Amino acid sequence: DAGVTQSPTHLIKTRGQQVTLRCSPKSGHDTVSWYQQALGQGPQFIFQYYEEEERQRGNFPDRFSGHQFPNYSSELNVNALLLGDSALYLCASSVPGQGLDTEAFFGQGTRLTVV
């Protein structure tokens, strides 16, 4: 079992550009969540996808968007990059359902640097 895989591992972009990050969930998982972790902070929830739809969203602007594919993999897109978007972006997947008794499995993240 490959677990949660994210690509790329590192990325450098220029202010104003757009970026796409990718995530493949753990086998058997259908729910994918994205988090942003700034340096020295805990991860912050961006949004969650289930059945190819955005189900929940954190306090992030519309510049952050996503997509989930039929095979449950997901993309995070960020438009008009700002220096403050520099962070570790984490993807997490969880077992089917939306209950309270389900653990999340995280990938190793994509380190995005905006210059």
**Footprint of another protein (CB under 8 A):** 4, 31, 33, 35, 42-45, 48, 56, 88, 90, 92, 94, 98-109
Rank residues 5 and 20 by Cβ distance to another protein and give the closer one. Answer: 5
| Alpha-carbon 11 to chain mean position | 14
| Alpha-carbon 38 to chain mean position | 14
Q: Least Å distance between CB 61 and another protein?
A: 18
Is the N-terminal amide bond of 25 cis, ω within 30° of 0?
no
**Of 110, 83, 93, the residue nearest 2 (C-alpha):** 93
Token pair listed for 84? 């403050």
Rank residues 40 and 70 by Cβ distance to another protein and give the closer one. Answer: 40
Q: Least Å distance between CB 52 and another protein?
A: 16
Q: Least Å distance between CB 108 and another protein?
A: 5
Rank residues 14 and 103 by Cβ distance to another protein and give the closer one. Answer: 103
Query: Is residue 72 a contact partner of residue 50, using CB atoms and an 8 Å limit?
Result: no
Rank residues 53 and 103 by Cβ distance to another protein and give the closer one. Answer: 103
